[in-house]
Chain A
Amino acid sequence: MTDAGHAEKAVMNFPRRDAQDKITGRTRYTTDVGGSEVIHAVLLRAEVASARIVRLDVEPARRMPGVRAIATADDAPGLYGIGIADHPLLARDAIRYHGEPIVALAADTLDQARAALAVIELELAPLPAVPTMAAALAEDAPLVHPDWKSYEVLAEGSVRQGNVAWEATVTRGDSDAAFARPDVTIVEGCYQVGRQSHVPFEPRAAVVSYEDGRFHIHTSTQVPWTVRDVTARALGVPESQVRVTVPAVGGGFGLKFDASIEPCAAVLARMSGRTVSIVNSRREEQMTCLSRENAEIRIRSAVTQEGEIVGREATVLMDCGAYGGEQVFLTSMTAHTLGGNYRLGTARLSSRAIYTNTPPNGAFRACNGVYNTFALERHTDEIADAIGMDRLEFRRRNVLGDKDLGSTGQVFEGNVLGPMIDRMEALRASSGDRKALADGRLYGRATTVGTWFIFVGLSAATVNLNSDGSATLVTTGVEIGQGTMMQALPQIVAASLGIPPEQVIVKSADTDAAGRDLGVGGGRTTVSIGAASVAACEEVKAKLLDVASEMLQTDRSELVLADGRIEIAGRPGTGTTIQQVIAEVESRTGPVSGNGSFTAPGAVSALPGCVAGHFLDAIDLPVFAVHDCELAIDPDTGQVEILAYRVVQDVGRALNPRAIHGQIQGGVAQGLGYALHEEITINDSGAFDQQGFESYHLPLAADVIPVEFDLYEGAPSCGPLGTKGAGEVPILNVGATVACAVADATGTKVSSLPLTPPKVMALIDGRQPELQHHHISPVWVENTLQSA
């Protein structure tokens, strides 16, 4: 069968197979494992932002009832991290953030464990704290990591110094010449965003046992292999001694894209010989959330009267908190998010992860992209206004098209954003404007564009074709609610083998059973595991067709797999059942299986010499989005009501349109929370003020509206059957679109998110001073270590 034929067969609204257990309460998440079998772990966490540990005595806790094991830094000596190994599992000498774990302890009951924690003796000597990025970059700022030079660097090309954990830069073309042109208008803007908390309903949790010299970590994670690696590093044991399995995960959104508390339970399991359960309390989960990072951004552009962007310079400061973590990697992404969307004559971008004495940040759906798109699209509207051009027309003229260069000099293929803007115009025309609903309030509207990319990379798959004609797909993919393991993957395998998707069994993740995988994130699962699965199916098909060709006396090129049969192409009902062919293969060579693997195709690259400090300098699989929002603002309260929200999303091929609808509706809702009311503030003790649901405001049913959408298919994609990931990108430009619409409604400069009612009132009343970043120089090179 042709690829196109497979693709058509794969497209369907295949329902989730895990839904019935989830709506009847039968699903066993990690937090549902328990009973008399397990003992319970808790962590002693720091209650200051910065201090030296003078004395730690856990002996009183050992004498408390029910206590089975106590671990300190001595029991987990290794440092781990992304790019730099800077992170201890348990604090040894220094406290670097409020909430940092110091001691892990397990007891028969949770109450006993908490009682034992309370008698641990800890003496601290306060140290000056670095609460903000401005403080971290000040001259003579205390160093969050005085020993930063001694850390093991895990990735090539590091650029770092002191409180600058990592720096990635792009330099393409003669920027100074571009800005010096006499025919350009120079537009400059400062932007900032706060943190966003994922609030997965299942907190981070693990159940760990130690048997036959190996750890078995059953955990709520998006990255089983990272948990395996980090546990091995932290504990100083071989990776092969760690097995990770993952049941249904009750929400992740990127929070679970790193290991966190799992290795603590592992140490305690080895010590006690018991199965140890560790579950973050909701307060712990909030207070130590690896949030979407706060960021501070300065952008400067040189634009001609015709709207050509001849030069762009930007500096993005990303707060990594006390340890580098994901932000070290995310510095690479500014080139493709803030540096995306538009053709640029020249580009200079500095993207820096900054250490502060605050809880570490992490990955969150469309990480880095959400706030860089906000800043870029606000800046874009400011440019259009400055040169007197219609905002959408300015975008039409500048969006990336076929053979255009991205910021790092990568060549983009296909015209995608331009036609998507047309589709948005059509969607708006068909649904009609909602201005009348504003009913006397301030009305605003905006259309924005966004660039994301699928984070392709290592995946492995094995397909076992069973004698009954069913197939078992074995991967280490994880179901966090996104649906890939329930829908896209069985659909892809089924279409490939000509069997119904109900006949594809998808094994839950087990690092002992399947090959390495980068994990669920960045919209990569359908693409990367999907591609590995297709490759595995090809091997299975080859084995079947070799034998079927003989059985049916037909050349294998004329045979197709369809409807559970192997038939002669174009002659349904000919041939034989797949079971008969399997039986014949089994009798000759044994059971039928195939293996497939995938990694980044690496077919694209940056221009030589353009980038420094990047983990990836070109993107294999760009994804674009166009969003449109209409809103009304109550001029007396600053309350924003969303009147209409529309999405045109580049999906490559929509394998399961209904499931994609679910991702768009959910992703936009999460973005509306980010744009309007999800706020984290950090107090004098270095802790978040928002410790639970009462103070951290999630969008509720009344806060959302049905999102109108149009799926844009057919853009170039290296994904299987032309797919692109669809779950990550719906949140990408929600903050941007709402901010641009609020600016439109109020006629003011909107420079920060979230747009809470007090902030909107200040804008309306002219009480919001223009945002200035005094710690980001208007002279671009001064924001890099190149200037040092």
Chain B
Amino acid sequence: MSVTLSVNGEERTFTGDPRTPLIDVLRDHMRLTGAKSVCREGFCGACTVHVDGEPMVSCLIPVGTLAGRAVTTIEGIAGGGAQLNAVQQALLDHDVVQCGMCFPGMVMTLSAFLETSAQPTRAALKAELSGNACRCTGYERIIDAALSVTGQEVAAP
């Protein structure tokens, strides 16, 4: 069976089992390896992508449900190429990355949240990140970076 969906603004067709999780379609079939397949049960958030602008974990979405929908991955979040969006720039400026595996998902979650919530509190940001686990950083410096996007500078970058 075939499913046609938009991936990073490009029409793509997947032929195969419609129950295949979106993460596997992206990584194995389209070779978009930015989204990470970590827990495969919806807890870690490392595979987060946007579906019609909403952040969702791609490990739990059967590709067959996405006909005609628009998927944006980390590869497409800033318009492609070497461009960075504001969240990515802040993470870079604050030098918060360590192993890096969780960051594509973190960027997808934070980018969507900060578009809709202009002045979130620190607590609200932490609550929003509850679906994105990180084993290296201890989160707080990621929160610092995200707050700086909203003009709430809490720590020197």
**Measuring CB to CB, which residues of chain A are less than 8 angstroms from any residue of chain B?**
13, 15-16, 18-20, 22-29, 31-32, 34-35, 198-202, 248-253, 282, 480-483, 658-659, 661-662, 665-670, 692-694, 698-702, 704-707
Contacts and interface: CB of A to CB of B under 8 A. Distances in A.
Given A26-B34, A201-B38, A659-B95, A702 B100 contact: no
Interface in B120-138: 125-127, 129-130, 132-133, 135-138
B39 A23 contact: no
Nearest to B43: A693
Interface string B30-63: 0111111111110110100000000000000000
Contacts of A248: 99-100
A251 B139 CA distance: 15
B16 to A, nearest CB: 11
B114 interface: no
Contacts of A704: 138-140
A34 B46 CA distance: 19
B42 to A, nearest CB: 9
Interface in B14-34: 27-28, 31-34
B106 to A, nearest CB: 8
A483 B27 CA distance: 27
B121 to A, nearest CB: 13
A705 B36 CA distance: 26
Contact of B43 (A26, A661, A665, A694): A694
A699 B31 CA distance: 31
B7 to A, nearest CB: 13
B74 interface: yes
A698 B133 contact: yes
B40 A282 contact: yes
Contacts of B104: 23-25
B129 A701 contact: yes
Contact of B126 (A35, A200, A201, A702): A702
Contact of A22 (B46, B75, B100): B100
A31 B143 CA distance: 28
Given A35-B31, A251-B101, A19 B95 contact: yes
B67 interface: no
25 contacts: A15-B95, A18-B100, A19-B100, A23-B103, A24-B104, A25-B73, A25-B75, A198-B135, A200-B99, A201-B46, A201-B135, A249-B99, A658-B95, A661-B141, A665-B138, A666-B137, A666-B138, A669-B139, A692-B39, A693-B44, A694-B41, A694-B43, A698-B133, A704-B138, A707-B138
Given A15-B95, A22-B97, 14 more contacts: A13-B95, A16-B97, A23-B107, A24-B82, A32-B33, A34-B28, A34-B31, A202-B101, A253-B135, A661-B141, A666-B138, A668-B138, A694-B43, A700-B129
Contact of A201 (B35, B73, B82, B99): B99
A509 to B, nearest CB: 15
B96 interface: yes
B48 to A, nearest CB: 11
Contact of B97 (A18, A31, A282): A18
Contacts of A19: 91-92, 95, 97, 100
B88 interface: yes
A731 to B, nearest CB: 11
B78 interface: yes
B152 interface: no
B124 to A, nearest CB: 11
Contact of B136 (A18, A666, A700): A666
A481 B129 contact: no
Contact of B39 (A15, A668, A693, A705): A693
Given A250-B101, A481-B100, A702-B126, A25 B35 contact: yes
Given A23-B91, A700-B133, A704-B139, A662 B34 contact: no
A15 B92 contact: yes
B122 to A, nearest CB: 9
B84 interface: yes
Contacts of B34: 24-26
Given A25-B74, A35-B31, A693-B41, A669 B138 contact: yes
Nearest to B34: A25
Contact of A202 (B92, B99, B107, B126): B99
Given A19-B92, A282-B39, A480 B138 contact: no
B28 A666 contact: no
A771 to B, nearest CB: 30
B66 to A, nearest CB: 19
Nearest to A665: B138
Contact of B99 (A480, A706, A707): A480
Nearest to B33: A32
A668 to B, nearest CB: 6
A199 to B, nearest CB: 6
B117 interface: no
Given A18-B97, A201-B135, A701-B130, A692 B92 contact: no
A18 to B, nearest CB: 7
Contacts of A13: 95
Contacts of A24: 34, 74-75, 78, 82, 84, 88, 104
B89 to A, nearest CB: 9
B44 A481 contact: no
B56 to A, nearest CB: 16
Contact of B95 (A16, A32, A199, A250): A16
B73 to A, nearest CB: 7
B81 to A, nearest CB: 9
Contacts of B73: 25
Contacts of B35: 25
B135 A670 contact: yes
Nearest to A483: B98
B139 A481 contact: no
A282 B38 contact: yes
B5 interface: no
A774 B39 CA distance: 39
A404 B46 CA distance: 49
Most-contacted residue by chain B among A28, A659, A669 (CB, 10 A): A669
B92 A23 contact: yes
A326 to B, nearest CB: 20
Given A23-B84, A24-B34, A692-B41, A199 B135 contact: yes
A666 B102 CA distance: 14
Given A20-B92, A704-B140, A705-B140, A482 B39 contact: no
A202 B133 CA distance: 13
A198 B97 CA distance: 18
A200 B97 contact: no
